[in-house]
Structure 1
Amino acid sequence: MKREALIAWTSLYIAVGIMAFICAVLAVAVTAEDWRTKRWRPAVASRLDKALFVPRIWLRWQINYLKGAPVILAIALYYAWSVGFSVFWDL
C-alpha cells in the first residue's frame, strides 16, 4: 500500500472514530435532557418495569445515537470523495 493511501485511510478511521465519540456523548446529553424535562421517562411501577429500567435507558440512548449515524456517514463519504479515495481503489 502506498504511503498516501495509508495516511488517507488512517485519517478517515480517526475522523470517523472522533465523530462516533461526539455522537455518543451527544446521545447521552439528549437522553439526559429528555429525562430531565420529562419528555421521556421509563416507568417503574411494577417489578418488570424495574427489571427493564436499565435496558430501556440503553435502548433510548441507542435510538438517539443512531439518529446521528446518517450525519457521520455523509461526512465520512464526503471526506473520502474529497481526498480522492476512488484513486486508491486501484491499488
Structure 2
Amino acid sequence: MRLTCPICGERDRREFYYMGDAVALRRPAPDAGAEAWDDYVHLRDNPAGQTRDLWQHEGGCGAWVVVTRNTVTHEIQSIALALELAEGRDES
C-alpha cells in the first residue's frame, strides 16, 4: 500500500506508523476505573469497509495524517493533515 503524505508526496506504507481509528479512540479520564483503561489499551474494532485512521509519517516528515480508506479493497479515498482537520479546514 502507498500513502500520499500531504507534505512529502507518495510514500510506501512502511514509512508510516498506524495509530488506529481517528474517530473512536478516546482516552479515558485519568480517574476512570481499571476496566475502562484495560479496554482502551487492549480492545480495537476490526471493521471491513471504510475506515478513518490516524497515521504518523514516522519515516519522513513526522506529520500526523488522517487516512480514509477501504480495508476490503485497499482503496485510499483521502488523506489530510490531522492538524488541518482539527482546525476545521476541509479534507482534500
Q: Which has the larger radius of gyration?
A: 1
Question: Scaled by the length of structure 2, what TM-score is found?
Answer: 0.27
- The TM-score, its normalising length taken from structure 1, stands at 0.27
Structure (1/2) with the larger helix percentage: 1
Q: Would you tell me which structure has more strand in proportion to its own residues?
A: 2
